[in-house]
Structure 1
Amino acid sequence: MADDTDTLIMLVASLLKPGDSFSQAEILDALVNCSGSVEDAAERLAQVASSSKGKRVSMPASSRKRKRDTKLDAWLKPPSKGTSTEHLKVPPQKVRRDEPKPKPLSSASAKPVTDLMTILRPPPSSEKKGPPKFAPLMLSSPALVAEHTPCTLHHSILPPELACELFYTMLDASRAWQRNKWWLFDKVVESPHLTSFFARRTNGLDDDESWQEAAQYWYNGRATEAPSTFPEPMERACQIIERVVNEEMAKRKRFKLEWGDPDAGSPPVWRANVAASNCYEGSKESVGWHSDQLTYLGPYPTIASLSLGTRRNFSLREVVPSQDADIRRARTFNIPLPHNSLTIMHASCQETFKHSIPPQSSIDLYRPAHPRGTHPANPDIGSHYDEHGHYRVLGAATANSSDPSIAKPPPSPPSAVSSTGASVDAAIEPSNCRINITFRFYRPDFRPGTIPKCHCGIPTILRPDMKSRVNGETDRYWWTCYAGAQNDGKGCKFWKIMDMKSEGRGPCVGGLKP
């Protein structure tokens, strides 16, 4: 504050008449007695100079010699209790009898008092202000979701019994799911939720079951085994979701690099042939901001995300292109997703928006509307209560086996199982888990065998150029090395622009054919 004190002293000195000379200590004393008012201090000193007829009356020596705290906030604050203020008072000056006493300043003749903060406040910044920021917006209805995002929200998408059955099936299966691990900045990081992957018996377009054999997918730079097939409840749910997705796609604008044959003369056909599944347990398990990898989805995919279990918020935020960065800012949109709701991320969502499931301070427990029943038999996945009332994974002999594949029974198993397979008097246990199933269409022109490999010998991943758009569309994608996610964080920095025509991809809505 020393610089501020010097500034005030200079301001007082500039208001004095020529020839009125006072020391810094005297000016500072005047400022103290005038509560920091520059003009009052100058007026006081002028009276002192006038009363001495040009002969300046010196301030008391004790006032000049005493150790003083010259910090501005020290004399702006009111004195504390018990603190003497006698030393701050200026003693009355001796005036000769024949000298007229100075008239006190009237309120009419007094100059306006300058607010101290107008002097100390820094000048307004000359930097150009950016576009305004907006607070996050809660999209609580399907109409608001459709208005602000390239998504549609559908409540109660499945029959209630099927939604509960699928929730139980996936919740039981999640006991064997894992957390993804990958390298990031020379450290191994782990996803804060459980995840798994499923594939249909065919690619959804024909009856060729070689799709399963070719589905040796790579995830986060790591080779994986062929995924499990859709459990029977998931297959039934998928058929309903496919119908809704195709109805919505028929209402929307199509993009030129989107999958489709313009010469076919038929509405678009979207078939879900894979499903990425996630389990979020409790309020803290989450996933950060990201857009889904397009490696096998191709440009402008449509993804249908089914939510089962406890309600969680789904957040969306646009990636503002470089050419618009000076005129607008991205806004976060939060969508509450209750049990049995479907969010369709339509074409352009992965190119223009990032999404996340943020952690929450608290959540409401989900209480299923229907009790557990026997899950239909499936050779790949599923669990049920056998004829003895034992909870077991399909293929296991008994719940009392030491086999590690046997799942532990839930807290309250059903007391009996009817001859039709439905549980009798089964207890309904509340759950703090959210099951998310994202149904996706892996395009035939982006099959695993057609994905270019980097210098590390590992399939690359496809990324969109989210910062640049031409006429509102993203038209540039590139293949980039992703080996660093699993190779101790080391990759080869390979990348190249994707060329749909030279790579023999299509057909596309814009007329491109292989």
Structure 2
Amino acid sequence: MSGTFEENLQQLKQLFPDAKEQNLLVALKLSNGQIENASNIYLEQNERRNNKNKNFTYLKQPKLDSFIKKKQSENEDSEKIDNYPSKKRKFNELDKIIANKQNNSSSNKLSNLQEVLKWPLKPLMVKKRIQTQTLYLYRQEDISARTPCTLIDNVLPKELANSLLQIMLKESEIFTRKQGFLFGNLVTSPHTSQYYVSNEIKTKSSNNARCFPPEMERAKTIIMNIVNEQRKKRKINEYEVQGDWSPNIAAANCYANSKEAVNWHSDRLTHLGPFPIIGSLSLGVTRQFRLRRFGIEESNSTNLSQKTSPSTIYSIPLKHNSLLIMWPPCQELWKHEVCPQNSIDKHPIAGFKRINITFRQFRDEYGSEMTPICHHGELCMLKPVFNGRNVGRYFYSCNAGGPEGKCDFFEWLNIDKRKEEFGKLRMLETKDK
């Protein structure tokens, strides 16, 4: 009798210790759990990836000015007098052409571009730009009223907070910068990071993930109890985590100085599922954490009568030993960033560094074995719909961004059907055991 999906995955990891776990997961799913077939599929896909990487070169787009000059030169060459007598122009016509060109020599780039592309000049309709205002929030009640977040200062005992900071500063020496493709270009994150997992899900995590240090485990327990106590005051959506929130993974980020940052984004939902709760612990120097609503619905704050403008940015200074709880639907309707700053106050332990630990709950029903595979043979990414008539729905799409680009894979998430499929999968695993 064959082993379970996780047991077969562990055997593949032993066969290919240097392989990425995501590639092994894809091969195992495509082979229906057969280790021998999965090994062959992985070797074929790995060879194909290597060949694509060798053949990929980046192309640099020419600048607009050089493009205009080149086209102007071609137009001028085409208007030169032909040597054949039958095609010679009259000298007075040539004089007119030269005079017109001299009169237009001081025209701007827009006129030159119009001449090159031969389009009729139309009055430009410039839309009125909406001025973006930044509102700084300091009081806890203001943060809760205007954003889907709760801020708690001095969340950990002072000794534990300082001890965890010192440990994470040492750990940050091995943090790495993430790399990925954006519009076909390879980009590198402007800060370093590392994933941590609790012992109970170590077998389901990436090979690069590290286990919670004892101090992080203690901090997780304190934060978990605070979040669950706060949840009793809130309305719980039927599709978010039911029962107690129990974080089992954490993403740790290190911002080494005032210029290291992260741009506007929402946290990935692929393994967290809809309506996740994220507890963000800040250690070290104080940095500005900014929020902006991108969805069309109002925030799920305690004061629902408080209107929020899409053009408003809310900036919250996150101090050492502060906890920011991002409630649902923060990841669906809002985006956040840590922006560069001109200057920051030095911390007595961390100097100019900030360590951020975001505690999250990995949900089994959104694990890798339940995630669709795109046409590239890669695990898809779960995303929410921000605008339009489908706001409130989730879909899977291709997560590739390398030389081959993204494919057209698309699949709506049926949350009720996912629960049913996950229940059947667990019943089969129980019978195999």
Q: Same fold (TM over 0.5)?
A: yes
Letter matched to residue 153 of structure 1 = L
* TM-score normalised by length of structure 1: 0.54
| Aligned length in residues | 291
Does residue 483 of structure 1 match 2:403?
no
Matched residue of 1:313: which SS?
A: strand
Equivalent in the alignment of 1:356: 337
Letter matched to residue 399 of structure 2 = Y
- Cα offset for 1:353? 0.4
Matched residue of 1:459: which SS?
A: coil
Does residue 291 of structure 1 match 2:266?
yes
**Distance in 2 of aligned mates of 1:452 and 1:490:** 18
Candidates 269, 277, 281, aligned match of 1:302: 277
Letter matched to residue 214 of structure 1 = K
**Distance in 1 of aligned mates of 2:208 and 2:405:** 26
**Distance in 1 of aligned mates of 2:199 and 2:159:** 25
Equivalent in the alignment of 2:296: 321
Does residue 213 of structure 1 match 2:203?
yes
**Distance in 1 of aligned mates of 2:421 and 2:362:** 13
Equivalent in the alignment of 1:251: 233
* Structure with the higher helix share, 1 or 2: 2
For structure 2, list consecutive stretches of 5 or more residues without a partner in the other structure.
1-123, 299-307, 423-433
**Distance in 2 of aligned mates of 1:299 and 1:322:** 16
Letter matched to residue 355 of structure 1 = H
8 Å Cα contact 2:365/2:418 also seen in 1 = no
**Distance in 1 of aligned mates of 2:194 and 2:312:** 31
Equivalent in the alignment of 1:462: 382
**Distance in 2 of aligned mates of 1:245 and 1:505:** 28
Matched residue of 2:199: which SS?
A: coil
**Distance in 1 of aligned mates of 2:180 and 2:346:** 31
Does residue 343 of structure 1 match 2:313?
no
**Distance in 1 of aligned mates of 2:273 and 2:404:** 26
Residues 504/155 of structure 1: CA separation in 2 closer, same or farther (3 Å cut): same
Matched residue of 2:418: which SS?
A: coil
**Distance in 1 of aligned mates of 2:139 and 2:191:** 27
8 Å Cα contact 2:372/2:380 also seen in 1 = yes
For structure 1, list consecutive stretches of 5 or more residues without a partner in the other structure.
1-124, 203-210, 217-224, 261-267, 369-429, 508-514
Residues 129/241 of structure 1: CA separation in 2 closer, same or farther (3 Å cut): same
Matched residue of 1:136: which SS?
A: strand
- Cα offset for 1:133? 4.3
Letter matched to residue 134 of structure 2 = P
How big is each residue's C-alpha offset from its partner over 1:442-495, in whole Å with a ceiling of 9 and x where there is no partner? 11211221111111111101000011478xxx53100011021xx336222211
Candidates 358, 361, 369, aligned match of 1:438: 358
Aligned ranges 1:46-445 → 2 under 5 Å = 133=131, 135-202=133-200, 211-216=201-206, 225-260=207-242, 268-321=243-296, 329-368=310-349, 431-445=351-365
Residues 504/161 of structure 1: CA separation in 2 closer, same or farther (3 Å cut): same
Letter matched to residue 255 of structure 1 = N
Q: Which protein shows a greater Rg?
A: 1
8 Å Cα contact 1:245/1:270 also seen in 2 = yes
- Cα offset for 1:253? 1.8
Residues 328/469 of structure 1: CA separation in 2 closer, same or farther (3 Å cut): farther
**Distance in 2 of aligned mates of 1:469 and 1:342:** 35
Matched residue of 2:281: which SS?
A: strand
Percentage of identical aligned residues: 39
8 Å Cα contact 1:321/1:469 also seen in 2 = no
Equivalent in the alignment of 1:423: none
Residues 489/126 of structure 1: CA separation in 2 closer, same or farther (3 Å cut): closer
Residues 330/255 of structure 1: CA separation in 2 closer, same or farther (3 Å cut): farther
- Cα offset for 1:502? 2.6
Residues 152/328 of structure 1: CA separation in 2 closer, same or farther (3 Å cut): closer
**Distance in 2 of aligned mates of 1:354 and 1:490:** 25
Residues 495/364 of structure 1: CA separation in 2 closer, same or farther (3 Å cut): same
- Cα offset for 1:350? 0.4
- Cα offset for 1:345? 0.2
**Distance in 2 of aligned mates of 1:251 and 1:245:** 10
Residues 339/299 of structure 1: CA separation in 2 closer, same or farther (3 Å cut): same
Aligned ranges 1:38-53 → 2 under 5 Å = none
Residues 291/284 of structure 1: CA separation in 2 closer, same or farther (3 Å cut): same
8 Å Cα contact 2:295/2:332 also seen in 1 = no
Letter matched to residue 258 of structure 1 = E
Letter matched to residue 151 of structure 1 = C
Matched residue of 2:166: which SS?
A: helix
Residues 456/164 of structure 1: CA separation in 2 closer, same or farther (3 Å cut): same
